[in-house]
Amino acid sequence: MSWFKQLWHNSREKGQYYELEAQKYLVAQGLIPIERNYYCPFGELDLIMKQGNTLVFIEVKFRKNTFRGGANYALSKQKQGRLKRTIYHYLATNNIKNQALRIDYIAITGEASPTINWLKNVF
C-alpha cells in the first residue's frame, strides 16, 4: 500500500482514499472491479467486485490505531443491517437474480504502516 501523510478535508475524502487502496489490494488478489461508492436511500456500498462467478460486496473501514480493536471491530450490527438493505436494493435495481454473492470486509488499521485484513464472507 502506498501510504503518505495526508491532510484530509473531511472524512469522506479519507474514506475514498482507503477504499481506493483496498480496491488496488483486491485487484492484486485477482478480483475485478465492478463499481465503487454505490449510493441508495438505504446506504452506500464501498466496493462491488467480482471473483470468478461470485459478485463480492466489500465494506472498507479504516482506523488509525488499534484502540477498541482497530478496524477489525468497526463493523457494527447497525451497519450490517444497512449493508444488507443496500445490497438488496442494488440487486433489485440491476435485476440481478440467481447470482452467487459474498460480503467481505476490508479492515485497514494504522497510519505509518497500515495493516490490511481481508475477511471473507463476514455475514
Predicted confidence (pLDDT) per residue in 32-82, tens digit: 999 999 999 999 999 999 999 999 999 999 888 777 777 877 788 888 899
- 47 in any annotated domain: yes
Instruction: Check residues 8 and 102 and name the one with the higher pLDDT.
Output: 102
Q: Please give the model's pTM, rounded to 2 decimal places.
A: 0.87
Instruction: Check residues 107 and 66 and name the one with the higher pLDDT.
Output: 107
Q: Count H helices, E strands: the chain?
A: 2, 5
- 5 in any annotated domain: no
Residue among 101, 81, 105 at smallest CA distance from 91: 101
Q: End-to-end CA distance of the chain: give it in Å, rounded.
A: 27
- 54 in any annotated domain: yes
- Maximum pairwise Cα distance, the chain: 44
The pLDDT, as a whole number, for residue 59 is: 95
Least confident of 12-21, 69-78, 94-103, 113-122: 69-78
Confidence of residue 100 (pLDDT cuts 50, 70, 90): very high
Q: Which structural domain, as residue segments, surrounds residue 53? A: 11-119
The pLDDT, as a whole number, for residue 10 is: 66
What distances in angstroms separate CA 44 from CA 26, 30, 54, 69, one per listed residue? 19, 23, 20, 24
* Domain count across the chain: 1
What is the pLDDT of the chain when averaged over all its residues? Answer: 88
How do strand 54-63 and strand 100-109 relate by DSSP bridges? parallel
- 4 in any annotated domain: no
- 3 in any annotated domain: no
The pLDDT, as a whole number, for residue 1 is: 44
CATH number at 104 reads 3.40.1350.10
Local structure of 9: helix, strand or coil: coil
The pLDDT, as a whole number, for residue 8 is: 58
The 10 Å Cβ neighbour count of residue 78 is 8
